[in-house]
Amino acid sequence: MEQLHYRPNRLAKSLRSKHTSSLGLLIADITNPYYSEMAWNIEYLCYLQNYSVMLCNSDGSPSKEEFYINRLMEWQVDGIIIISPAVLPARINGLLTMDLPVILIDSDSQDYGLDSVSVDNFSGGVMAANHLISLGHKRIACINGARENVTNNERVNGFRSAMEAAGLDVDEDLIVTSDFEVVCGMQNALKLLDNETPPTAIFACGDLLAYGAVQAVYSKGLKVPQDLSIVGFDDIYLSKYTVPPLTTIKQPLYELSEEAVNCFFDRMENPDRVARKIRLDLQLEIRGSTAPLM
C-alpha cells in the first residue's frame, strides 16, 4: 500500500457506510469577516473529527442558496450548517423532506423543527443603546442592515426599546437602512452628519457599518469619540485594531461555531432527538470609540 501510494476510495467507502464524512456549510457573504471567521472555526472543528467541509457562498441570494443546497444533496453530504439571517421557509421545508441534519446559525428555527444556535440580538441592541445613554448621549442614530434581515431587526428593536425606556425620543430621521458593508456605513453616516441637528452617537448594527461610520467622521474633519461616539456589533477580529479601537457588542463566534458542530455530530448519533434551540449571551466590549458627551 505504501509503495503504490494507495488511497482509500471515499466514494466506495461511503456507499458501504452511508456516510461521506463531509459537511456542507452555506454562508451568506464570504467577504464579511463575521462569516469567514465562523467558517474557519467550523472547518477546524470538523477537521479535528476527520470531517471535510464543502463551503458554499450564497451572497444572500435565494436562487444561489437553492442551487448550492441542491448541489450539497447531490454530493451526499452528511449534513448542512447554514449561517444566514434570512433562511426561507420554503427552502427549509425542502430540507426537512431530505431527512438530513440541518443546523441553523444566526437564524431562529421557529417551527421548523431544526437545531439552531443564535444570540439574543434584541438584548444586544439594548446594551448598545444603554451604553451610549449612560455616557450622556440623547440624540443617538442607528445604522441598520437590510430590513429582511431578522437578526438586524431584533437589534434595532432592542435599540428602540432602550431609548423609550430611558424616556428618549426615537427620531426616525436618525434610523437609516443599508447593507452590511463598509461603504454603506460611510454613506449613511455622512447623511446623518449632514442632518440639521446631527447625532452625537451612532449605533451601527454591524462592525463593518461602524468602520464606515468612523471614516465618515474623519472625512468631515471630526474625531471619534470626541465629536461622535460609535458602537458596533459582532466584535470581528479587526475591531480591536481599528483607530480608535471599536466599542462593540461581542458575539461569541467560536462558541457559536462549536455549538453548531456539536449539534451536527450529536444529531448524527441521535437522529430522532428533539430539536435544540441554543441561545448564547452577548457582552459589551468597551474600547476607544465611545466617550462621555462633551
Look at residue 13 in the predicted model and tell me its pLDDT: 45
pTM of the model: 0.89
Look at residue 3 in the predicted model and tell me its pLDDT: 64
Model pLDDT for residues 6-38, shown as the tens digit of each residue: 555 444 444 444 679 999 999 989 999 999 999
Residue 4 scores a pLDDT above 80: no
**CA 164 vs CA 126, 148, 271, 283: distances in Å:** 11, 24, 45, 21
Look at residue 99 in the predicted model and tell me its pLDDT: 76
Look at residue 12 in the predicted model and tell me its pLDDT: 44
Q: Are residues 151 and 178 in the same domain?
A: yes
Q: Are residues 57 and 130 in the same domain?
A: no
Distance CA 266, CA 219 (A): 51
Q: Are residues 83 and 50 in the same domain?
A: yes
Full residue range of the structural domain in which residue 267 is found? 10-119+252-280
Q: Are residues 163 and 270 in the same domain?
A: no
Q: Are residues 35 and 114 in the same domain?
A: yes
Q: Are residues 132 and 236 in the same domain?
A: yes
Q: In this structure, how many other beta carbons lie within 10 angstroms of the beta carbon of residue 169? A: 10
Model pLDDT for residues 66-113, shown as the tens digit of each residue: 899 889 989 999 999 999 876 666 666 666 776 789 999 987 655 677
Contact 14, 78 (CB under 8 A): no
**Cell numbers linked to 189:** 453616516
**Residue 59 covered by a domain:** yes
Q: Are residues 18 and 100 in the same domain?
A: yes
Model pLDDT for residues 35-76, shown as the tens digit of each residue: 999 999 999 999 999 999 999 998 888 888 889 988 998 999
Q: Confidence band (pLDDT; 50, 70, 90) for 135?
A: very high
Q: Confidence band (pLDDT; 50, 70, 90) for 243?
A: very high
Q: Are residues 194 and 175 in the same domain?
A: yes
Look at residue 49 in the predicted model and tell me its pLDDT: 95
**Residue 290 covered by a domain:** no
Contact 285, 248 (CB under 8 A): yes
**Residue 289 covered by a domain:** no
**Residue 189 covered by a domain:** yes
Model pLDDT for residues 138-188, shown as the tens digit of each residue: 999 999 987 667 788 999 999 999 999 999 999 999 999 988 899 999 999
Query: Could you tell me the CATH number of the domain that includes residue 180?
Result: 3.40.50.2300
For 112-137, what is the mean pLDDT?
94
Provide CB contacts within 8 A for 92, sequence distance 6+: 102, 112, 114
Q: Are residues 159 and 186 in the same domain?
A: yes
**Residue 1 covered by a domain:** no
